[in-house]
Amino acid sequence: MRKTNNTRRVEEALWKAHAKQGVFGAFEVTIGWFGKEIVDFIAYKTTGEFLCYEIKVSLSDFKSKASLSFYGDFNYYVIPEHLLEVLRGHTAKSFNSLDLKLFDTRLKNSGIGLITVTEKGELNYVVKAKRKYVNMGTKATLLESMTRSLNREVKKFYEKNPYWIMGGVAE
């Protein structure tokens, strides 16, 4: 399935925000060996922390019945900036309330953070995620899952552009 421009912009912003020393990221990480859950983006810090990000680019995407894979020490929804007001309005209407910050309050109470991405690709932390206790077994599963996903991406790269076939071989 082709990704929308909004999805690509969010992915690019997440990638750039985590492209620094001591932080490793992977897209579309299937959790466990026979897992049915996929985390849109996971970042691992050498401090031992995992951050899980679920990307949502529309109201219908947000209301989807797909599993939310929040396994990290910190877990976030990441949305295009324009979607925030839609979600706030929808939540207020659903609860017959005039409080447009009800959406934010519900997220804060769940411990899940919210990040918006601007048209320029900048991240704005609207709701901070609360730290969640993640045991060592789960952390090992997340590392193994990330490794498989990263290997999948390297395999796709080498199938298109194997370095051993390129010219300029040094003796």
Express each pLDDT in 114-164 by its tens digit: 999 999 999 999 999 999 999 999 999 999 999 999 998 888 888 887 777
Residue 16 to residue 109: CA distance in whole angstroms: 29
Extract the tokens encoding 92: 């207020």
Prediction pTM value: 0.86
Burial (0-12, 13-18, 19+ Cβ within 10 Å), 108: middle
pLDDT of residue 28: 92
Residue 68 to residue 78: CA distance in whole angstroms: 12
Domain architecture of the chain: domains with CATH: 5-135 (3.40.1350)
Burial (0-12, 13-18, 19+ Cβ within 10 Å), 68: middle
The chain-wide mean pLDDT, for the chain, equals 87
pLDDT of residue 167: 60
Residue 79 to residue 55: CA distance in whole angstroms: 6
Lowest pLDDT segment from 9-13, 25-29, 67-71: 67-71
pLDDT of residue 140: 95
Residue 26 has pLDDT above 90, yes or no: yes
User: Contact at 8 Å (CB) between 78 and 68?
Assistant: no
At 96, is the pLDDT very low, low, confident or very high (cuts 50, 70, 90)? confident
Higher pLDDT, 102 or 40: 40
Mean per-residue pLDDT, 20-28: 94
Residue 52 to residue 163: CA distance in whole angstroms: 32
Extract the tokens encoding 143: 């590392």
Express each pLDDT in 56-85 by its tens digit: 998 888 877 776 789 999 999 999 999 998
Mean per-residue pLDDT, 24-51: 91
pLDDT of residue 166: 63
